[in-house]
Structure 1
Amino acid sequence: MKKRAYILLAALAASGCNYLEIEPVGQVIPHKTSEFRALLTSGYNAYPFGSARSFTALLSDEVGAIDASAFWNASEVVPLGYNYTWQYGGQMQEYPYQYFYQSIFYANAVIENIGAADVDDAGEPSDQILGEAYALRAYNHFELVNLYGRPYNPATASSDRGIVLSDHIDIEQQYRPSTVEAAYRSILDDISRAEALMSVEKQPDATHNYRFSLNALAAFKARVLLYTRQWQQAYELAVGLLPKYELLDLNALGDATTRPWKADSSEAILALDRPFSYSGGDLVRGALLSESLLALFDPTNDCRRTYLKEIKSGEGESALSGYGVDRSSSDRISIRVAEMYLIAAEAGSYLPSELEQARNLLLELQSKRMKNEAMEAQRARVEAMDAEALRQEVADERAREFPLEGHRWFDLRRTTRPAITHRYEGSSYTLQAGDSRYTLPFPQSAVNSNPDLNN
């Protein structure tokens, strides 16, 4: 028999979340839409915004050196070096698997119970809250399948192992992994449900930008469609969002502190995730950008070079020096309009009728990122590209545009899965081309709790 696990919510209420009436003893039952909003806010807060997507930078080719001691205090005994060298075992720092499911739990609690809610005087529609719950569940499942599921391949997705799908609350359920195809079908189904329910087109300000809106949902859907190679739909959704947001012109910013990855940026569509950072001053101290990534930036003409600051980490023989991204740990961004330009350009490169427009969209973004005097040569170069060359340019542009924002590892997984070599503590480690380690194993702690994960 299904059992709704409100015991966890009761524990949270007892620890300070006293906005819910507790009845009967041991259960927390929300009654009003404002209480369901608070419940969903807990779901947003439970999402591992600071240690999931962005920390995949350590696995990718965009980090060239790390000082593991810069990340953890003396009580931490698990070095990030095991992640950085793809030694997936009991010694690696686990990615926050369980927190995704905690966030999903809150979303499911809203989905299953908000239908009987009383509307508060504030009058927020229950459908908006319900739509966001579906969107948040989909977003968590998407992150999970791109960490722990096989990369999407339309020829094998129906048999490739995916992730456990949590679409209802049942503490007696046997949780076994679905297929990759089933995971993406669930994600797109939840997005469709959210589309039919939500009414807020765009969140009113940066303080609410962590919440889904119709625009954020469309942008997320464009990303999912790109990953599943549904080029036409991805292209159309991305292009449809472009007039609604303004690209920052880096030529005009000068010394301004505005950055594309800020929650209050004109580019921000959804601001839930934290870009990879370590708060030592305002610079990333523990991770240095790789030489291969730095080589993608035109040192003279790419305005994004101003983001990259020379930094030092460690002392003595273990001292490291190089470049990091000038970013604060308070920054938040998940989806911004620059990604929509790049989704449209990549998807359009697969559509013969849209190839010319795909080039133009890439150039429109680059015109806001490169110095004006460099654009004539850049335009001539891009306009001469065939579809394959354009896709490579888009891949490079994504690396330049989203350093340490959590895109690169997922991009490598879904495309070429190249060989990567990292040096750490005097030794070299290589992730081979097409390596099975492009898919993370389920964390050992999760397997210990649920042996069915490996069945």
Structure 2
Amino acid sequence: MKTKYKILTFSLVFAFALGLSSCSEDFLQTVPTDSVSTDIALGSTDNMMLAINGIHRTLYAQNPDIVRFYAGQEYMIPAADFGASDALHSATGNGWFRSFIQWNSHTQATSNDVLYPWWFYYNVIGSANNIINAAADLQESEDLNNILGQAYTYRAWAHFNLVRFFAKPYMVGNPSSDPGVPIMLATEPPYEGLARNTVKEVYDQITADLGTAISHFANASDRPNISHLNVDVAKGVAARVYLTIGDWANAAKYAREARQGYTLMDEAEYKSGFNSVDNPEWMWGSKMITDQTAYFWSYFYYTSNNFNGSQNRSNPKFMNHQLYDMMSETDYRRDLILKDCPSTFDDWNKGENAGRYASEEEYEAAIDEYRVIVNNGSSHNMVPYLHIKLSQSDGPTISPMDVLHMRAAEMYLIEAEAQARQNKNTEAQNVLFELVSERDAGYTKSTKTGQALVDEILVQRRIELFLEGHRRFDMLRNDEELDLTNSGANPDLYLGGFKQAKPSENDDWLFQIPQREIDANPNMVQN
């Protein structure tokens, strides 16, 4: 695995250098950021915290040495939604994600769409490993426990993402024998290529790391801000993991514990754009710094309704029409999907506009009306079912918006689903009602049980977590087929991504192992 180990060797310096933005001026003057020794970088808890800050930064940092135009988790969140079923593209746009939604890029070993997540998540793991393995030389303290809690959580989180993208789903395949991804724990030589661990072995390591993280957080100092991880985030990741492997009791337990102390958004907060870590429901998010923006490679560039970039202007994203129809008319989340928005791709009486307007003047008036609602510019295209969930707070600009990684509503949904799958119907109904009644004044507590209740919860997941990076993984773990018939998607745009058989019958759901890894590592096998 020579290629990967070059990446991992680089990861400490990369993460540490990124973390320097929060250190003192004296340190910046005396330590060169391009030649940091391990002894200096990890010789104290202060410097370890700089390395942790560097990992936080990688979640939204570009790296021109790997794939210049991808920026950490800002790229991977839409990658987990596009090419699934709910957040849809309206046009070819400038080409971003076009091959991905057509199911071409992730099935090609030479594609950047498989190289980048492999590098990105192993880079996070390498940086976390450097911190974990150096900690034995330091005296225990609350700050060190904070650092180790974060490092173990990051290592678990990154392995979790890798095994979900590059291996068969735990509950669909045979986890004890299906090839997963290599478990990376060491930071010292010999640097030899490793074989793929089984899916079960990877998940066993993930759950062990999360248990260790939670133990460290029990005696840790407080996190300074929401960009850092804490015990709530560790438990939130654990809830995701246990849901994925079907350990319903632990999924419910950790989801319930993780969400304590967080307030569900009210209607005004829900409609404010999902762009600020000051939101009381957010558990973990990247606080963006103005001079560290990813510009046209940011999450909002790919997904927002009014970011001032060519991807948004030429390819507005809309909601699957069938999913929209599943929302109650009293559900205020429905207001974020503009069903009756005019299409600016068509003439006033053609295409999606046919039969809707009595005259061209009426059509132009509708465009003006919706420009105000969408808060975009005259060069932005619009389409029916356009979403306005993710918005630039200052209108059609390229200002950096904060990036959401975890919030309390997801924990309610995990707990509800896990309870329902244990046939604890009353508990599941109560948790679901607590969440959905906040979004929908007309919602009454569900009386469904068994699979019908699970199905209702899964629909609420699709609505609530729209464009937050969960849909692909939900389809994988629930063995769902992809069928965009009646969704509003253009089959000529989506091509192979319009219909795909369910994961248990179709290995194309798996990301290919990057060819660079195959070439460098004789122990690696391809999907």
TM tier, smaller: 0.7 to 0.9
TM-aligned CA distance change 1:296 to 1:272, over 3 Å? farther
Deviation by residue 1:111-160 (Cα, 9 ceiling, x = unmatched): 111332479xxx86212101210111101111111111110128710101
Aligned to 2:510: 439
Change (3 A) 1:392 1:262: farther
Normalised by the size of structure 2, how large is the TM-score? 0.72
Residues 101/411 of structure 1: CA separation in 2 closer, same or farther (3 Å cut): same
The structure 2 residue matched to 1:290, chosen from 320, 323, 327, is 320
SS at match of 1:271: strand
Q: Counterparts of 1:224 and 1:145 in 2: how far apart (Å)? A: 11
Distance 2:120 2:327 in 1: 35
SS of structure 2 residue aligned to 1:190: helix
1:184 CA drift (Å): 0.4
Cα distance in structure 1, aligned partners of 2:217 and 2:193: 32
Work out whether residues 275 and 390 of structure 2, in 8 Å CA contact, stay in contact via their aligned partners in 1.
no
**C-alpha contact 2:12 2:126 (8 A) present in aligned 1:** no
Q: Secondary structure at the match of 1:58?
A: coil
C-alpha distance in structure 1 between counterparts of 2:206 and 2:307, whole Å: 36
Q: CA deviation at 1:100?
A: 1.0
1:263 to 253, 277, 282: 277
Partners of 2:262 and 2:19 lie apart in 1 by 38
Distance of 2:18 and 2:414 partners within structure 1? 43
Q: Which amino acid aligns with 2:226?
A: N
1:82: which partner in 2?
99
Aligned positions of 1:200-279 closer than 5 A: 208-250=225-267, 253=268, 258=272, 262-272=276-286, 277-278=302-303
| Residue 189 (1) aligns with residue 219 (2) | no
CA distance in 2, matches of 1:114, 1:106: 13
- Residue of structure 2 in register with 1:58 after alignment: 82
Q: CA deviation at 1:320?
A: 6.6
Which residue of 336, 354, 359 corresponds with 2:407? Answer: 336
Of the structure 1 ranges 418-427 and 46-55, higher mean CA displacement relative to structure 2 is found in 418-427
Aligned twin of 1:45: 57
Alignment check: 8 A CA contact 1:236 1:344 kept: yes
Matches within 5 A, 1:285-324: 285=313, 286=315, 287-298=317-328, 300-309=329-338, 321-322=383-384, 323-324=386-387
1 CA distance for matches of 2:273 and 2:382? 26
Q: Is the 8 A contact 1:53 1:405 kept in 2?
A: yes
Which letter does structure 1 place at the counterpart of 2:438? Answer: K
What does the per-residue CA deviation read over 1:225-270, in whole Å, with 9 as the maximum and x for residues that have no partner?
A: 11111111211222234442111232xx3x8864667422211112
Q: Does 1:355 align with 2:422?
A: no
Question: Any idea what the Cα deviations from partners look like across 1:46-77, whole Å, max 9, x if unmatched?
Answer: 2422011332211210133343434x6xxxxx
Equivalent position to 2:137, from 103, 116, 119: 116
Question: Post-superposition shift, 1:449?
Answer: 3.8
Query: Cα distance 1:445–1:58, how it changes in 2: closer, same or farther (>3 A)?
Result: farther
Match of 1:76 in 2: none
Cα distance change on mapping 1:82 and 1:213 into 2, 3 Å: same
Q: 1:407 to 1:154 in 2, by over 3 A?
A: closer
1:84 aligned partner, one-letter code: I
Aligned-partner SS, 1:334: strand
Instruction: Note if contact 1:83-1:93 (Cα within 8 Å) is conserved in structure 2.
Output: no
What root-mean-square deviation, in Å, do the aligned CA atoms of Structure 1 and Structure 2 show? 3.5
What whole-Å deviation, never above 9, does each CA across 1:274-294 have from its counterpart, x for those lacking one? 866445734855332222222
Match of 2:373 in 1: none
Q: Is the 8 A contact 2:240 2:251 kept in 1?
A: yes
Q: Structure 1 residues 313, 109: closer, same or farther in 2, change over 3 A?
A: farther
Relative distance call for 1:450 and 1:266 in structure 2 (3 A) is same
**Cα 1:326–1:369 shift into 2, 3 Å:** same
Alpha-carbon distance in structure 1 between the residues aligned to 2:109 and 2:17: 34
Please state if 1:408 is matched with 2:475.
no
Structure 2: 5+ residue stretches without partners: 21-26, 60-71, 288-297, 352-380, 392-399
3-state SS, counterpart of residue 502 of structure 2: coil
Q: Partner of 1:288: helix, strand, or coil?
A: strand
Rounded to whole Å, the distance in 2 between the matches of 1:230 and 1:309 is 38
Provide the C-alpha distance between the structure 2 equivalents of 1:436 and 1:7, rounded to a whole number of angstroms.
33
Matched, 1:345 2:427: no
CA contact (8 A) 2:143 2:221 kept: no
Aligned residues: 430
CA distance in 2, matches of 1:365, 1:331: 24
- Aligned partner of residue 363 in structure 1, secondary structure: helix
1:281 to 306, 323, 329: 306
Mapped to 1, the partners of 2:19 and 2:229 lie a distance apart of: 26
- For residues 393-447 of structure 1, give each alpha carbon's deviation from its aligned partner in whole angstroms, at most 9, with x where no partner exists: 0100000001111111100100132232463545743211332222211233443
TM-score (norm 1): 0.83
Indicate conservation of the 8 Å contact 1:142/1:187, yes or no: yes
Distance in structure 2 (CA, Å) of the matches to 1:386 and 1:12:
48
Classify 1:416/1:26 alpha carbon distance in 2 versus 1 (closer, same or farther; 3 Å): closer
**Segment of structure 1 superposing worse, 103-112 or 86-95:** 86-95
Q: Calculate percent identity across the aligned residue pairs.
A: 21
Distance 1:14 1:37, change over 3 A: closer
Whole-Å separation in 1 of the counterparts to 2:17 and 2:254: 44
Q: Does 1:394 align with 2:412?
A: no
- 1:259 and 1:265 map into 2 onto residues whose CA distance is 10
What CA distance in whole angstroms lies between the structure 2 residues aligned with 1:156 and 1:324? Answer: 38
For 1:309 and 1:26, locate their aligned partners in 2 and report how far apart those are by CA, in whole Å: 51
Asked if 1:67 corresponds to 2:86, the answer is no
Does residue 160 of structure 1 match 2:174? no
Amino acid paired to 2:434: E
Q: What SS is found at the alignment partner of 1:265?
A: coil
Amino acid of the structure 2 residue aligned with 1:183: V
**Residues of 2 paired with 1:256 and 1:117: CA distance?**
44
